[in-house]
Structure 1
Amino acid sequence: MLSETSTATVRATLPAVGAAIGDIADLFYRKLFEAHPELLRDLFNRGNQSSGAQRQALAGSIAAFATHLVEHPDTRPDVMLGRIAHKHASLGVTAAQYEIVHTHLFAAIAEVLGDAVTPEVAAAWDEVYWLMAGALTSIEERLYAQQGVVAGDVWRTWEVVARTEETDDVATFQLRPADGAPAPAFRPGQYVSVQVELADGAHQIRQYSLSSAPGSELRSLTVKRVHEAGAPDGEVSSHLHAKVAAGDLLRVSAPYGDLVLDSPDAPVLLASAGIGCTPMLSMLEHLAATGHSAPVTVVHGDRSPATHAMRTDHAQLTAKLPDAAAHFWYETPGPDHPADRTGRVDLSGIAVAPGTHAYLCGPLPFMRGVRTQLLAKGVRANDIHYEVFGPDMWLAQD
């Protein structure tokens, strides 16, 4: 809980800090990487830095956390904190790195806001930072303990045992631990980080959802190749597609992620677009394997049947459930595709069972649109869960 004195100061300065938070985040990252270039090379996603997405996400999360402290002083925004902590754990972030961030973040605040940063203002926002950092560190320590790893030491070497081309741009890699030890447990919907060494010596990390359900020593990663030649956005996916085959080794983290089935007996709606189908397929396979009897509604949007990765699995797994239906929308459908399933996903004609728990993954506009339609159908906001591939821009754009 924020102290009374700091609460008053943060409330008074939040408009000014909020207006400048984008500039603060931009300067912070420049200062951080000038002092620690190894962090950009080997920890931070260079694609997100190049696009500015990470700066926007950082700004959004700080503003949202400070606003919550002021407006809801007796609670914490645990959903937001949990999502960030899972991502940090998959990267191996440690408590010591929060000290480094603090140094450069507060130098950026002082430089951007100048004389407005009085000792009282600095102390209040310092308290905000350490409350957020302390909460994240606590959650991350618990996540590390659950996986039985030392804080930050999340990496193991895995062997690629098979590779399957799902579409022209999507491949599935089946992995097993190279040391022969048991694979760590995971929950359907979770992801792992994959770290690869690129041609310039950088060790870049990206997160990929596990696309199969628990129950096997093999783990499946389904990866879409990003095409921008030379762009940092696609440097890891392009490396995996071009360089990795059966018999190769990959450095893979323990599994993390908060998009997991939270009420196993409830009706379920799984909505995805594009490569966002990967965590949904893991959940769907799990539901089929466990004999889920409540209604399941599967919704997916894609450019065409040919670009719909694992389309057959999507349909066949749905068919295994006793009370389930799959609805696929394509912008360019085949000749026999229903006319009312052409274009973007539209739930107006889809029945949603009372008490449905919904899980969304795909581009942010898609998820916002589906969430709006679900709320209109009576699905509770707390029962709608989502996964963002990359920085969580939902907060940054609210």
Structure 2
Amino acid sequence: MLSKETIEIIKSTVPVLQVKGTEITTVFYKNMFSEHPELLNIFNHTNQSQGRQQTALANAVLAAATYIDNLETIIPVVKQIAHKHRSLVIKPEHYPIVGKHLLRAIKEVLGDAATDEIINAWAEAYGVISQVFIDIEKQMYDEAAAKAGGWAEFKEFKVIDKVQESDVITSFYLAPSDQSIVPTYEPGQYITIRVCIPGEEYLLNRQYSLSAAPGKKYFRISVKREAEGNKPDGKVSNYLHDHINKGDSLEVTAPAGEFTLNTKETPVVLISGGVGITPFMSMVNYIAEQQPKRQIEFINAARSGKLQAFKNELETLTGKLLDYRLSYVYDSPSEDDKNNPYFSKEGFIDTEWLKNKLIPEADYYVCGPVPFLKAVLTNLKKLGVEDTQIHYEFFGPAVDLQVEEVHA
């Protein structure tokens, strides 16, 4: 328990964290990696270079300060982060390193304004907050290991198949190298892949949604080749596409994540943009196998039919699901795209079009790039969908969506 004095001091730092938070976390990561370069084997370098990790941490620190007198309020956020930590194999011994450099960064950025009183209060608060993470993550490690076929950290899997799903997305089917069973998981969860790329100084980790229904003898991940123009931007995705083939091995962590399907019989609306379709493939296939009478609206937006993944798989499901509507939305459809019976709209998902896709009492799941998420969530709110019905997922560190306010 934190003292009343400590709580008051922490809450007094909220205004400065709102202004200086990202500057503090940027200095924090710079100093920590300089002194502990081995941690670069864990952290996503791309998220660092794009500033997303710094922003996500700044938001987490601000939330902790804001709710320091009622930390239970942020437990859902803590659990979401803890899932990522467990999937990346963050360990208790990492927390003192983080604490040391976070306090140092606060002092470095705020200078004389970071009095001994403030630093001591944050040291005390960090001790309490970090223990919450350690305890939750221990439980997650234990649960992952206790499952039939489960394990706690990394395990070797072999690629048993590699299938091109679109011009930019390829699926990898992974089975345990020791021929053990594959643990079950919740539709929508993800795994971490760790690779050692020739010429790279550090190991690289990436988290990919599982794109097949649970209960198989394999995991399936479906990876988009990340590229900007003709210059490859995604080291891991390009390495997987170009160099990992059937028979090769990859290190994998057990499934994690809280963006999961409500398995009740309520209707479901799945709205995805681009590769955001991947967790929904796990969900829709689960429904087809376990709840074929469940009402489902499946919407995927892509630039064109050539970039539309899982086309055959999605269209085949019309014969397995009794109440299933499938819609493709393409930015730049070809004439062939327009002739596809499931092509529904050219351009973007807007309020007027989405209005006709709503299902009362449905759960709405949204996944895709940040601009896509903002637009769809804003449209859903305009159409009166309650926050409790909306679930969404980021690929990478969470950022503030700043969804447009909807006023009555």
Aligning the two structures, in what range does the TM-score lie when normalised by the shorter sequence?
over 0.9
Choose between structure 1 and 2 for higher RCO, CA contacts under 8 A separated by at least 6 residues: 1
2:356 matches 1:341 = no
Task: Structure 1: state its 5+ residue gaps.
Answer: none
What are the residue-to-residue correspondences of 1:325-340 with 2, within 5 Å?
325-335=325-335, 336=338
Mean Cα displacement is larger for which, 356-365 or 134-143? 134-143
Specify the alignment match of 1:143 in structure 2: 140
Aligned equivalents of 1:50, 1:372: Cα separation in 2:
29
Task: Structure 2: state its 5+ residue gaps.
Answer: none
Q: CA deviation at 1:191?
A: 0.6
Mean Cα displacement is larger for which, 222-231 or 358-367? 222-231
- Choose which of 101, 105, 111 in structure 2 pairs with 1:104: 101
- Choose which of 376, 379, 382 in structure 1 pairs with 2:388: 382
2:353 matches 1:354 = no
Q: CA deviation at 1:255?
A: 0.8
Percent identity for Structure 1 against Structure 2: 36
SS at match of 2:212: coil
Aligned equivalents of 1:342, 1:68: Cα separation in 2:
44
What do residues 179-225 of structure 1 show as CA deviations (whole Å, max 9, x unaligned)? Answer: 01111221111110001101224210001111100121111111111
Opposite residue 48 of structure 1, the aligned amino acid is N
Specify the alignment match of 2:75 in structure 1: 78
Opposite residue 315 of structure 1, the aligned amino acid is E
Q: CA deviation at 1:2?
A: 5.1
Q: CA deviation at 1:257?
A: 1.0
Q: Rate the CA distance shift 1:305–1:232 in 2: closer, same or farther, 3 A.
A: closer
Specify the alignment match of 2:250 in structure 1: 250
Opposite residue 14 of structure 2, the aligned amino acid is L
Q: CA deviation at 1:396?
A: 9.1
2:370 matches 1:370 = no
Opposite residue 118 of structure 1, the aligned amino acid is T
Aligned equivalents of 1:311, 1:232: Cα separation in 2:
26
When the two structures are aligned, how many residues end up with a matched partner? 395
Aligned equivalents of 2:397, 2:34: Cα separation in 1:
22
Task: Tell me, yes or no, if the aligned pair for 1:60 and 1:397 is still in contact at 8 Å.
Answer: no
Aligned equivalents of 1:230, 1:145: Cα separation in 2:
44
Q: Give the TM-score, by structure 2 length.
A: 0.90
Task: Tell me, yes or no, if the aligned pair for 1:288 and 1:318 is still in contact at 8 Å.
Answer: no
Q: CA deviation at 1:174?
A: 0.8
Specify the alignment match of 1:60 in structure 2: 59
Task: Tell me, yes or no, if the aligned pair for 2:161 and 2:174 is still in contact at 8 Å.
Answer: yes
Task: Tell me, yes or no, if the aligned pair for 1:300 and 1:345 is still in contact at 8 Å.
Answer: no
2:115 matches 1:118 = yes
Specify the alignment match of 1:87 in structure 2: 84
SS at match of 1:75: helix
Opposite residue 255 of structure 1, the aligned amino acid is P
Specify the alignment match of 1:261 in structure 2: 261
Aligned equivalents of 1:66, 1:317: Cα separation in 2:
48
Q: CA deviation at 1:258?
A: 0.8
Mean Cα displacement is larger for which, 202-211 or 328-337? 328-337
**What's the C-alpha RMSD, in Å, of the aligned pairs?**
2.5
